[in-house]
A and B are shown apart, each in its own frame.
Chain A
Amino acid sequence: MRYQRLLLPVLLLVVWEIAAFAVNNPFIIPSLTTVVPILIHPFSSSYTLGTGSLVWNAAISIQRVGLGFLIATVVAIPLGILMGRFQALNDAFDSLIELLRPIPPLAWVPLALAWFKIGLTSIVFIIFIGAFFPILLNTIDGVKAVKKTWLEVAMTLGAGERQILLKVLLPGAAPTIWTGLRVGFGIAWMCVVAAEWLPGISQGLGYLILYAYNFGQTNLIIAGMVVIGLIGLAIDLVFKSVERKWFSWRDLER
């Protein structure tokens, strides 16, 4: 099983290297021998055209994504709980949300620049937009899917509105909210790369690969992409393992 999973990636590397040899143009397909040294020196700035080490740039990107994601979480979860619990609020917000939701996060870039100028705020805003809707919609769904009986049991046992929220509604909706966080983070991570292409940005993995393009350093582009992919994968694995550990009851419940 493990070997089968690795088969295709290894095959890709082999084909890549053969193609690099055949094409013989490092701008189109750089040899892996020029990519690997960058990846195995993640703390060194001497492979990245003086833009700081891979780890440094990754840390910057993670920090930006974390900030936008955190704000999205703090806004979306309470709003989602209220919308899931109170139909009137749901009706009030629903059409606006349905209208805004299909707009891709990147379509907000010009507006973000107009509002917040060039800088961290604009980037965080784009990430916020990307993460906000999946978290919100999953929270609403999760709260709505909480069984009526669970709430009524709590009521007959004397729980107040606050206790129902904390002891029944939140834990009951938690697995679905968590799915929303996971999806939201995935989208936020995609957004950060593009948001770092905004003018006036000079750090971050997104900036790094665009900068490398300007210098024709395709090997650095590839290295940057690999790091972006690995970080996204690692964070998704963390989300998944928490899901398995805490929220497995959702699938086991008959």
Chain B
Amino acid sequence: MGVRPMTGGVILFYVFAAITCLGAIGVVLSQNVVRMAFWLIVSLGSSAGLFFMLHADFVGALQLMVYVGGTLVLLIFGVMLTTTGQYMKIQSSPGEGVLAGAVGFLVFSMLFASVIQVDWSNTTTKIGITVPMDDTTETYNATGMGNTARPLGLSLLGLRPDKDLGKDAGSSLSTGYLLPFEIASIHLLVVLIGASYLARAKRRAGSVD
């Protein structure tokens, strides 16, 4: 593993990675709920930056929209409006600290062990970007620069522009992500209906009639 030259991309990677880690540490160390949420947003936002550096624009935008926005909603409606003062500051006892530290250490050692077991030497040279779509079509993007939205959307419809299905025609590979997508959609619908049912049931029990 040779030392990478410090190009702009590498420097930016270190910056985003450092902000992600510092944000995560900030979540653990701060005791105010709102500050915790703020550090969580910093951490999630800069991991979205890491996605952008991988040219995964759609995933990065989704990270901003769902996780950063979702954390915000969680913070406001889940924590700030439902608690009455005493939970705004979270002070953990030493026993909890030891327990959480042990769990964190176990997860970290598992991740660390699996990371160092991979032979990364093959990935130090950059793989040339091939455009799966028709390259005669002129687009506004430089080739392969983050225009992942169309291949992703087509995959959800069952078309795979990134795979030569003619070659794998006999295999049992699924052609797309239509079925998993539909399953996830139905799952979310069930959760939504369940949530609204629970909210209504509580109100009915408390009402006069």
* A and B part of one assembly: no
Residues on B facing A (Cβ under 8 Å): none
